[in-house]
A = this chain, B = another copy of it.
Amino acid sequence: MNTFGRSFRITTFGESHGPALGVVIDGCPALIPLSAEDIQPVLDRRRPGTGPLTSPRAEPDRVEILSGVFEGKTTGMPVALLIRNADARSSDYDALRDVYRPGHADYAYKEKYGFRDHRGGGRSSGRETVGRVAAGAVAAKCLARIGIDISGKVEEIHGVSDPPAMEEEIRNAKGAGDSVGGIIRISATGVPAGLGDPVFGKLDAQIASAMMGIGAVKGVEIGDGFAAARLKGSEHNDPMDATGFLSNHAGGILGGISNGNEIVVRIAVKPTASIALPQKTRDSEGKETIITVGGRHDPCIVPRLLPVAEAMLALVLVDAFLEQEKYRVFSRAGT
């Protein structure tokens, strides 16, 4: 299943070392002004090779709009976006063809498909998120027209939350041939009350699926999240007065439906699985071996996941908005 969304549906394709990556957006509203310039800056934010603490793989990640835009505006037809791979060095991975990297999808893929593209992790690579981020930029353009704004930040790296200390943690991990994880907070303002469905299409359930669907994410919280499990009802319930809610422990969602408050989401990102330190593993013949993972990797993937998480939240919200809109005529007729 490489499709996400019900009304604003994206289908991504492409592998780390294949010819190209991309996404087809089906269900994008017509008449949205759109050009490559709207998408490129967001791609640039997740791009590798931009600093000493990211992978040195030099990918320009130039997006081409293949369809769905005419005279600068979306037409309602599928918007296909293409990003060519430029700097794949597949030979870096030759040694990994038959060995399973710990913490990676290698073994699971082989068991599932009987066959895997070992070059850079194939489709399990973080490069797959290029398509999501591109689609997220289109979603964000739609959201801007209805007053919804998304932002995020890295809250914690390896347990520390001060920015210079976070950078230090990454630098130390890199120096040690190791890696670190962290926590991201993303939020959305301007979300009208009423988005999301009561039971299985809960807005928080869709957000949870979107976030856990990002590689390396191991936990998702809405509002107070796990801390809520240690509060009393009298502490956690958000009281209201005539002007609205007086607090936001719920993170903007009640009963699966947005309540007009800021949507607040936190996600836990595991440390990068690719590390230079020797690890015990086995090969595809079942023989035990020691692996030291080469290739070009990020000692901490958290900062580069931030635009991905923002993109996924944008996709969930534009989808939920479209789903809700379809009842507008009937709700007017009924009153």
Contact = CB atoms under 8 A, between A and B. Distances in A.
Interface string A1-19: 1111011010111110011
Interface in A90-123: 100, 102-105, 107-109, 111-117, 119, 122-123
B205 A327 contact: no
Contacts of A27: 1
A252 B325 CA distance: 26
Contact of A333 (B31, B179, B274, B327): B31
B255 A108 contact: yes
The interface centre, meaning the residue of A27, A209, A225, A250 with most chain B CB atoms within 10 A of its CB, is A209
B117 A70 contact: yes
A312 to B, nearest CB: 10
A151 interface: no
Interface residues of A, number: 158
A213 to B, nearest CB: 4
A58 interface: no
Interface stretch (A37-45, A49-57, A214-222): A214-222
A284 to B, nearest CB: 11
Contact of A275 (B145, B237, B257): B237
A283 B193 CA distance: 16
List 6 tightest A-B contacts by C-beta distance, closest first: A105-B255, A31-B334, A1-B201, A29-B330, A179-B233, A103-B237
Contact of A327 (B195, B258, B322): B322
Nearest to A241: B288
A123 B199 contact: yes
14 contacts: A30-B113, A30-B334, A31-B331, A111-B193, A112-B193, A124-B255, A128-B199, A204-B212, A208-B212, A227-B268, A236-B271, A240-B282, A241-B280, A242-B282
The interface centre, meaning the residue of A20, A198, A246 with most chain B CB atoms within 10 A of its CB, is A198
A187 interface: no
Given A2-B78, A70-B119, 16 more contacts: A11-B78, A22-B66, A75-B115, A76-B113, A76-B327, A77-B198, A103-B233, A105-B254, A105-B257, A156-B229, A173-B233, A179-B234, A182-B229, A199-B213, A226-B268, A242-B282
B282 A241 contact: yes
Contacts of A281: 239-241
A273 interface: yes
B105 A198 contact: yes
B236 A277 contact: no
A100 B240 contact: yes
